[in-house]
Structure 1
Amino acid sequence: MPRVRRCRQPGCHAMVNFPDHYCKQHYEHEAEYLASRERWARSHDKLYTHKYNTVTRNRDDTKRQQYNFYRTRQWSHLRQQVLERDHYLCAYCKVKGVITPAKTVDHVVPIEFDEALKANVDNLAVICGKCHRLKTDWEQGYYGTGQGNELRQVNEIHDVQSVGVLMNGGTQRD
């Protein structure tokens, strides 16, 4: 007798043959479910995590020092100070007139571009996940930060409002 299990669709009690997870009626969800399982397994794989930490995150002494800075007591205090100053609200969303709660603290001018500003409270702002992705993409284009890029000789932009406008596709006003 073949092994069977219940269909994963909520409310469906049909039995399916192993290794399938969905019955014929809900089979369109099978590929999506398998992809999500693969993503989860990859993120919880010790080999993948080890490779990320040793090859990508700590690829050279500069990146290793940057990463280690985020594990210091100094950073912990700076981060808490900025979160309280900005009331746990994304500074970049405020530029657009939107209130978004956030817990990530980001450098306005990336420390990869200017190491001297890494512990400067005025160079820190609270940022939500969506804005963080937009800002990282913008920084890679403007400053040339990120793996495989070469740093450019450009003016630093210290104003959160200017960065917020630029990363959302606007133009800078002088």
Structure 2
Amino acid sequence: MNKSKIRIVVFSLFISIMIIIMIIIFFAFKPRSIHIDKEVNVYMSGEPNFIETMRLNIEGEFDKNIFKEDSFYGDIRIEGLIDPKGELLNIIFYNGVGDLVYFNSSYFFSEFEHLGLIVIDRDFNEFCIVVYETNENASQSISHKPYKLISYPNENREESIKRFNKLKMKDDWLSYFKVE
């Protein structure tokens, strides 16, 4: 009689722990809505005195995954800097780095615009956006200098550079990218 009560208690405890683990996993990894609409400072590489204020608008869902890369579904616009003709393709983050690629499709042609990259922390609470300067004479040729840097939360230039350097450490591919 005593053994059967112990088995029931152990089984109940096991089921309770499993339910708690499932609830934690569900809430930790369910897609999170991102809504940011605020004025941010924009800094230019190589020009320490350059500063512009622009409106950053991010609307979408951030999906933090266990077994695959994190992703963002939505739209990122920076008034006057990122106002593309098309829609943002879903961003898949590899080691916290994703490309800002916009797709414009019409009946006669399709066009991709690669405008920059975004580097995030694990929860999309901190991020930096790097927008490349494009050459108007060539068809979207990208030079990695000069570029503009936006950091969130938005602070001064030094804090933005520190944040970018901290976030980029997760990815070897960005080691060539020097922020000044």
Q: Confirm or deny a common fold (TM above 0.5).
A: no
TM-score (structure 2 length as normaliser): 0.30
- The structure that is strand-richer by fraction is 2
TM-score (structure 1 length as normaliser): 0.30
